[in-house]
Chains A and B, each alone.
Chain A
Amino acid sequence: MIFHLDLKEKRAISRFLGVIAGALVIWLAAEASAWWSIDFGGIISIRLSPFDYEVTVLNQSVSIPLIDYLVLAYRVITLIAGLLLIISTVKIESKWSKRLKEYGWRKIPNCLAMIFIVALIFTIIISQQTAIVKDIVNLWFPVVAIQSSNTMFLSGSTILTITLNAANNQNTVITVPVTATFTMNFLLAIIATALCIAYRVSSALQLKDSRKA
């Protein structure tokens, strides 16, 4: 449909997409709430977003200062990227606009891919590669075996059954329900990604048309 519009209309659509995409990018970076979370029976919980993270172990917040500052830096970069996306809509055909666009449009799609990969790795390790979980739990308790009730893929639930090493005539079995979920912000990030891609494609088409004209 966009192919039948005149240049002015195409420019208006591109601008609209750019402004909305930029605003959404700014909002996602400013709000910085979790995109994906995983909870281990209320004992350990991890909430991830590209702009912040929250790890709680036994009601105690755990953090790595280096990562804290890196995510903060990335948050500022993304806020600027969102702003530059909006600025790039002012004069879409110009060369500086193209550069601002190139800088801005990739940020949220990259974040989306990153969270997706992290969620995938986490869920695969927890539900299929339980030997890795066993090594981690072994840091605290001597573990005999860990079994997962079912396979998790990105989100969902499973039950981990951890059999501890029998010591002092004591046998212990720990049952941990694990739940992984994507939040509303992940959905917004998908929308932002779609808008960023749409803005890039529409502005490229519009640029092509203006050159022909």
Chain B
Amino acid sequence: MLTRKTAVRTLINESVIKWLLTLMSAAIIIGFVTMGLASYDFNLKSFITPQGVPTTPQLPSLSFVELNIEDFYQNSLELTITLTLYLNRDMVIPINLIEFKGLLYCRDHGVTLGNFSLQEPITLNKKGAYSLILIVKFSDQGLKHVANYHSTKIENAYHVDITLHVPEITIVTMVNNVKIKTTIKGFTRKVAFTLPEEAIHDFSFRS
């Protein structure tokens, strides 16, 4: 007859412990998985489907609703214009608009008038309207062209009437550390504005 001590020794031999440990591991895994499945009402599909995956990210659509000519700086031949753009939805991560640039042409004569760029970066996050201040830098040749072909003298000023052509616009945005550079098709638009007499005066005589 086996003594109690011998019986315990027999039980706790190598293979029994090995099997107990293996069973314990299996029981823990099966237990947790069953517990998880139960918390999903034993719906296997939702249990193995990734949760919280964002839907196809849609780039915001921007629409220009307003164009205002703010000021003209004669010394640097700069024109400040404000565009109002509209962000159609809230962004999960803010978008920093760091570049918005392009070249400006006279559509009728094909002459390069200058270029435009963003005055300072803006952050787009909430749905709504944003003012985008652009600096239009006229080239010497561009301003001469405006003076000679598209301006009419009015009282102490010049009325400019021109059809601008922007072949493409380069937009650079940063979303966290990701840089997105987009080149979009530009536009052709007839614009009319008034420039102070001093702005054009010098150039009209140089030509």
Which residues of chain A have a CB within 8 Å of any CB of chain B?
Answer: 40-43, 57-66, 68-70, 72-74, 76-77, 80, 84, 95-96, 98-100, 102-103, 139-140, 168-177
Contacts and interface: CB of A to CB of B under 8 A. Distances in A.
Question: Binding site of A, secondary structure by majority: helix, strand, loop or mixed?
Answer: mixed
Given A43-B175, A73-B31, A173 B181 contact: yes
Nearest to A139: B56
Contact of A58 (B14, B93, B181): B93
B36 A95 contact: no
A57 B54 contact: yes
A43 B54 CA distance: 12
Contacts of B12: 95-96
26 contacts: A40-B178, A41-B175, A43-B93, A57-B52, A57-B53, A58-B93, A60-B54, A64-B50, A66-B33, A66-B36, A66-B48, A69-B35, A70-B29, A72-B32, A80-B24, A80-B28, A84-B21, A96-B14, A99-B17, A168-B185, A169-B184, A170-B185, A171-B182, A173-B182, A175-B178, A176-B178
Contacts of B31: 73
A25 B47 CA distance: 29
Question: Binding site of B, secondary structure by majority: helix, strand, loop or mixed?
Answer: mixed
Interface string B30-48: 0111011001100000111
Nearest to A39: B177
B181 A172 contact: yes
A161 to B, nearest CB: 10
B92 interface: yes
Interface residues on B, range: 35 or more
Contact of B52 (A43, A60, A95, A140): A60
Given A70-B32, A174-B179, A174-B180, A62 B53 contact: yes
B25 interface: yes
Contacts of B182: 170-173
> Could you say which of A57, A99, A100, A173 has the most chain B C-beta atoms within 10 Å of its C-beta?
A99
